[in-house]
A and B are shown apart, each in its own frame.
Chain A
Amino acid sequence: MITLSINGTPIQASEGMTVLEAARQEGIEIPTLCYLKALGPFGVCRLCIVEANGPGLIHAILPSCNLKVFEGLVITTDSAVIHEIRRTMIELLLASTPLSESLRWLAIKFGVEASRFTPDKKDPCILCGLCVRVCRDRIGASALSFAGSDSNRHVVAEEIRIDKEACIGCGTCANICPVQAIKLEDMESDRKIVLYGKVASRFELVKCDICGNPHTTQEFIDSVVSRLNEEQKKGVRNLCPECARHYYAEAMTSQFPADVRSNR
């Protein structure tokens, strides 16, 4: 175990943990937009910055999501300097994208009423990269990517692009997007993935074998099945989440004697 201090309180953390994880474990809040435990640190939203002191560090301002804990580290998550920088960044976020749920929450929390700066972008995307990473690292489709302008080779992140061929229509990107820049629009058996207000890819939904409601894309089912072994494949049913819950509950309880089942 490693002992560090966060906001004056000594804290125990296990080796390899990040400051963000150690803080959250203790219930100390640090705001983030681009961090998700399942995806690991990415370090682009810069809201999770903290002040770090300790061996080799004097008043260093570093993102806590990829700062590993070490012995003797002294962290301040809410000093005046940090607060001021975060406020400025929230203003920049507000100046760069229209207001969304999560940004409004941040603004209220940090007492930012309006941005001092003039806005530019019209879409709400903050380029946090959650969609790109979840599609690549968890779904395995790699349909989304950052794209820069062709004229300037140094711009690597100007917008998110979607590769229609690679998209399997699972909708994870829309679920994970903190600012609703990607939306999933299901209309009967038609699914649209809407990116920056434009239809980026379109799918026909397959119907649940039990209730007949359209629920997911064939491409998504295929992608899941492709990762199963032969034995697992035998158990695959084309069911919507609601019917699947009933179906598998039924299957499980049927293993018990009839008198136990009748008690439910």
Chain B
Amino acid sequence: MMGKAFSCWNNKEIESALPLKYGDREVAAVIGWGGIQVFDTKLDIIELCYQYAQAVQNNSCGQCIPCRTGMRVLADVFAKIRDGRGEERDLDYIKSLSIAISKASMCEIGQSSPRVFLYLLENFRDTFEAKVKGGRGSGPEYSFHSLLTAPCMQACPIHLDIPKYIEEIKAGRFRESLDCIKSRLPLPGIVGRVCVRPCESNCRRGLVDESLQIRHLKRFVADYALKRTSNTRLAADHTEQLASPSSLPKIAIIGAGPSGLTCASFLAKKSYEVTIFEMLPESGGMAAVGIPDYRLPRDIVREEVAEIEQLGVKILHGKALGPHFTLEDLERAGYKAVFIGMGCHCHKSLDIEGEDRGYYGYVPGVYFLRNINLGLMDEVPKGKKMVVVGGGNVAIDCVRTAFRVGFDESHIVYRRSRKEMPADSVEIDDAEAEGVKYHFLTAPRRIMGENGKVTGLECVRMELGEPDASGRRRPVEVPGSEFVIEADVIVAAIGQEGDFNCMCNLPGVEVTKKGAIIVDENLMTTRNGVFAGGDCVTGPDVLIKACAHGRLVSMAIDEFLTKGKTKTLGEVLDEKFLAGLKVYDPAESIALPEGPGRVIVTHEPPSERINDFREVDKGYTADEAVSEASRCLRCYRVVMYACPDDPSNA
């Protein structure tokens, strides 16, 4: 038993740490890669160490001897002391084992886990010695729970087991790698192309040289399987899963976008009868109609949707919530739960003069992309010179698409500088390579037109002032700096929002002032049995976040239908708990020499690719994927928390 509550995490001693909570349970202690925090001094520290060593051993991949056998032996030594059979020399064993494991293990799981034992031996040796002499103490009982994470895994909204699937690629087991991804994400081909990859910005390899190209690796295994899986094989896989005819309740999903498809896939695998209602003639949501084919070919979306349909999911096109049916209709038709995943398909207006004149040639970005993606070329304004307003991915998609639909010149107007652009930096560079002209620190003032047609965009120069709420420096107008960019077509791409008309008229479903649906931690709306996720909850956000919502809702619906109103899902609690522990520390220094840099993926040459919608990135070959995967440091970390045993749970 420790004399005092204390805390040391990521090499920092925290004097008066606030007790951590797991959900609403008080945590007695946390032990993990970053150190140890003890809040309840009655907890037996040896028992905690034993449980932790055991948990690390259970998660050891078994490849290298220090971690595989060393952690087992360490757990044995702690068990011996705990059971009152401790000897003086056991403390030396703990020390030499901890040094050997942390210094000689192959990956982070072995390197990071035993450091805490060295810290404890150095700072609390008296306590350990007393335990060796005094033997087993008695105190309240605790329950111990361990979590496995990694910086990339924690950063990923859907928490894909990234080190695992990269390890499989390294070993040449591509099928197994894909299975690992698919256990959490049914759309690897889509996400492997368009994800904004928070994992890569939290990759520890990036602290040594360059982060791994995790997205390209994911795309590689998705494509590899696609090339090698005949439809018969796919069908065979699924008949097995559908062997038992569904007697489970019917579930309605509104919107066949990334969140709806993900949710449907997991529910169908649990044998629920799932129907998706989609307003557009095409499935995929923004992945299909919001992203141009040169980034995400339609075949890929269709293949992945088809795979979900083969699980037994029905998709009804041309059915919009509001105009065609209501939530009450769904209830009457016998749907026991509803998931609203309708996205943000409405555009934000520029709020400048000339916008509402109805000029030919003025078009919001989401509509421009959607019409092209749906093949409605008559709806797309024609011309020679296009100017796009905005700095996000939609703006870049529009400005790059311009060349591909016949424009000679394509410009982008953004009121801050390149550094502040929210678009993916790779996209920004690719667009520049294709000949897009950037006008930074430029804001639109007025849309100019003649005879009902757009003729140009009046702009004003900006300079950067003080940082605003988003942390980016606020642009300020430079007086008298107005100028005109001539244009045939002006595209507004400064953001999207949800369909207010629809969302504000759902009885019982409360909506925020900004037009986002209000949900609880399990993503249930204020109406019982109606869930919501994706952009219509978060506002315009990244695709993987929508998938994560879809997956979470599939679990929440299952809980709701089998157990009624439920407690917060364990997954949600785990995520919150880990977020408080800072899995990725950008200040960490890693004692590794720079290795071979990232394997660069090949691109179609800019001069050729701008003529059509062919995919720009060619993707990895098997050899390239294996050598990129070999750069992974496999930064798994184990953390354990102890809670006093809750008598009501017994």
A-side residues, CB < 8 A to B, are 43-46, 49, 52, 54-63, 67-68, 70, 73, 81, 84-85, 88-89, 92-93, 95-96, 116-118, 120, 126-127, 129, 146, 148, 152-158
Contact = CB atoms under 8 A, between A and B. Distances in A.
B72 interface: yes
Nearest to B179: A153
A152 B591 CA distance: 30
Contacts of A93: 65, 69
A67 B591 CA distance: 12
A116 to B, nearest CB: 6
A118 B73 contact: yes
B96 A89 contact: no
8 contacts: A44-B106, A55-B593, A59-B591, A85-B99, A88-B100, A96-B68, A127-B63, A157-B61
A92 B70 contact: yes
A117 B62 contact: no
B496 to A, nearest CB: 39
Q: Which of B65, B68, B76, B106 has the most CB of A within 10 A?
A: B65
Interface in B136-156: 148
A155 B104 contact: no
B175 to A, nearest CB: 13
A154 B591 contact: no
Given A96-B69, A157-B61, A89 B592 contact: no
A117 B77 CA distance: 9
B96 A154 contact: no
B105 interface: yes
Given A61-B103, A85-B99, A156 B93 contact: no
3 shortest interchain CB distances as A-B pairs = A60-B591, A88-B100, A157-B62
Q: Which of B59, B69, B167 has the most CB of A within 10 A?
A: B69
B177 interface: no
Interface residues on B, range: 35 or more
Interface in B47-70: 58-66, 68-70
B65 A154 contact: no
Interface in B67-95: 68-70, 72-73, 76, 89, 93
A92 B100 contact: yes
Given A88-B97, A118-B73, A43 B58 contact: no
A22 to B, nearest CB: 14
A96 B593 contact: no
A91 to B, nearest CB: 9
Q: Which of A46, A62, A116 has the most CB of B within 10 A?
A: A46
B63 A44 contact: yes
B19 to A, nearest CB: 30
Interface of B: 58-66, 68-70, 72-73, 76, 89, 93, 96-97, 99-100, 103-106, 148, 164, 167, 171, 591-595, 636
Given A56-B593, A126-B65, A156-B167, A117 B104 contact: no
Contacts of B68: 96, 127, 157
A89 B594 contact: no
Contacts of A58: 591
Given A62-B592, A84-B99, A152 B58 contact: yes
Contacts of B69: 92-93, 95-96, 120
B106 A89 contact: no
Contacts of B93: 116-117
A52 B591 CA distance: 9
A84 B96 contact: yes
Given A57-B592, A88-B70, A120-B69, 6 more contacts: A81-B99, A81-B103, A88-B100, A92-B100, A127-B68, A156-B63
B72 A120 contact: yes
A117 B99 contact: no
A52 B593 CA distance: 10
Given A89-B66, A96-B65, A118 B76 contact: yes
B65 A60 contact: no
A93 B61 CA distance: 17
A148 B592 contact: no
A61 to B, nearest CB: 4
A93 B73 CA distance: 11
B97 A67 contact: no
Given A46-B106, A89-B104, A92-B69, A156 B61 contact: yes
Contacts of A126: 65
Contacts of B594: 56
B591 A89 contact: no
A57 B591 contact: yes
B112 to A, nearest CB: 14
Contacts of A154: 59-61, 148, 164, 636
B495 to A, nearest CB: 41
B62 A127 contact: yes
Given A57-B593, A58-B591, A155-B60, A117 B73 contact: yes
B632 to A, nearest CB: 13
Given A56-B593, A152-B58, A158-B62, A88 B76 contact: no
A129 to B, nearest CB: 8
B62 A148 contact: yes
A95 B106 contact: no
A257 B5 CA distance: 94
